[in-house]
Chain A
Amino acid sequence: MLKIEGINKRFGSNEACKGINLEVRKGECFYLLGPSGCGKSTLLSMIAGHLSPDSGDIILEGHSLLNMPPNKRPIHTIFQSYALFPHLTVFENVAFSLRIKGVVDLEERVLKKLDLVSLLEFKDRYPEELSGGQQQRVAIARAIIDEPSLLLLDEPFGALDTKLRKEMQLELKALQRSLGMTFICVTHDQEEALSLADRLAVMNSGSIEQLGTPENVYDSPATRFVASFIGESNILDGKVEGDKILLSNSISVPITKKFQSGEIRGVVIRPEWFELNDGVSVFSLTGEVISRLFQGASILYLIKTELGKIKVLVPVDDDLSPRQIGDSVVVRCTSGSFEVV
């Protein structure tokens, strides 16, 4: 539906986007995820039309958007902190784009959308009289009033507290499904991206590091950056030798990817991929529990081993005899439960 082809954008000496290519499918919730300054917001501004790329093309349903000003693009944005019009009531905020288009018979349409976001009773209020969650609902209603084919969301939940954030995430996701709209969201919150995205692109310093489903990105991170940015992970460095990586003199891990011998690469192991019991393993380490965090359904151990401190997450059910600080344990890495980056 939306194709981004070789987009470059530079601000002075800072390359905000370096040759970005991606395709967003119709009806999906696509996330651009990355730390601040990675170029994700710049990319979003270029899709909306507030910035134009130095080179490359943005194609929506077969037509290039580049020579189209933002007001002509069939795309709306939900801005960070919402950018509601402070001098207009909730009703007029939502009616804005219809009024611009010169739609006369708009009352019913506006009320319908206000009802959809359960704000009917607040229609005569001004934005400053609303709570953060209500303001976001206004922003949503305003952006979907003329049912754009594509909705852009810039850090949509950034201004909400944790509890409200979860609620609004579920609500927005349900809305996206029921309206069948395509969403492109920008966030630095990896938890949000993992839980809401159908697919996501992880960005770092102007490039896409990995593109895939949340499961895919979490389970097989393509780069060291992705491994450390998304979720918790242990990254153990080693030197490549043939089809193995040497983590120490006695510990090695087989690799399937092609790397140059002599390169330093990282073996990524998520804390929950380790086992704390006996059995077959690719390698195992003996260590001492130095810290222990109870997290409800699981326990996170910090274990000091010959390869440094390692985080291990064990579900409470599996952990028949919880380890105590100072206990000596064997940490087991099983085959298939690691990724080399």
Chain B
Amino acid sequence: MKKIVQGWYILFLLIPILLVVFCSFLTKGSPIDFSFSLEGYKRTLHYGFPFLRSLGYATVVSFLCLLIGFPTAVVIVSSKKWRAMLLFLVILPFWTNFLVRIYGWKIILRQLDLLGTPWAVIIGLTYIYLPFMILPLYSSLERFDSRIYFAARDLGASGLQSIIKVVLPCISPGVRVGLLFVFILTFGDFVVNDLLGGAKNAMIGSSIRDAYLLSRNWPLGASLTVVSTLLLLCVFWIGRKWRSSGT
């Protein structure tokens, strides 16, 4: 069993990553020349804004999803009778194609005169990735003893204080998984931004896609990918630091 797991990791995680890392140090050709070059990494320096935009959107959307997802998950957990139905409703949008739903939003956002603005991107991303927050929060809350919340209220904490000081720390595995999902997925997304935000304000996902598919610059695409991955790792490292210093 352990061998299978190791084999799985090597085949589907390690080899692809090494290929990308390898590719990022090569020279642009058609598509690549096998000679060493740092050209790809040098050019990533011009991609500061897409990186920042992705980080910014991912941060905002993760916390928005937590803000909306937490009360939603609480409602689902506390309604014994409708629980299955509500969970079904959370998953239901996945049954419709992603693009169709985004085009739906396009119509709504145009009516609201928001199309092409960062708000449109934030709304779209939050909508798309919300279920990835709700589901892990739900599974954590289901195992949470609600008396612990009442104990906090009883000892003088207001509703909000009880949630922040007691409930969220108690369900932190779910919160972390939810934030992780939403952050990673949002960071790499390019479709929502292209369709709702307009292509000129690219997120890093679109830049990577363009590098690989439009300008056929594989080393640049690979460099951008490597830097993205390192950035994500940095974010999680900071998150861990912050968490362990918080408790």
Contact = CB atoms under 8 A, between A and B. Distances in A.
Interface of A: 48-50, 69-71, 75-77, 79-81, 83-87, 96-97, 100-101, 142-143
B113 interface: no
Contacts of A49: 153
B150 A79 contact: yes
Nearest to A45: B150
Interface stretch (B64-72, B156-164, B209-217): B156-164
B151 A87 contact: no
A81 B147 CA distance: 9
Contacts of B153: 49-50, 69-71
A57 B59 CA distance: 48
B170 A83 contact: no
A48 B147 CA distance: 12
8 contacts: A71-B153, A71-B156, A71-B158, A77-B154, A83-B145, A85-B170, A86-B148, A100-B155
A13 to B, nearest CB: 15
Task: Tell me whether chain B's interface is mostly helix, strand or loop, or mixed.
Answer: helix
Central interface residue in B152, B155, B157, by most chain A CB within 10 Å: B155
Nearest to B144: A86
B151 A83 contact: yes
Interface of B: 145, 147-148, 150-159, 161, 165-166, 169-170, 172, 247
Contacts of A81: 145, 147
A87 B170 contact: yes
Q: Would you list the 8 A-B pairs with minimal beta carbon distance, nearest first?
A: A83-B147, A97-B155, A83-B151, A87-B169, A100-B156, A70-B153, A97-B156, A83-B148
B170 to A, nearest CB: 6
B70 to A, nearest CB: 17
A76 B150 CA distance: 11
B152 A85 contact: yes
A15 B132 CA distance: 40
Given A96-B155, A100-B161, A101-B156, 4 more contacts: A71-B154, A83-B150, A97-B155, A100-B156
Contacts of A85: 148, 151-152, 166, 170
Nearest to B150: A50
Contacts of B170: 85-87
Contact of B151 (A69, A75, A79, A101): A79
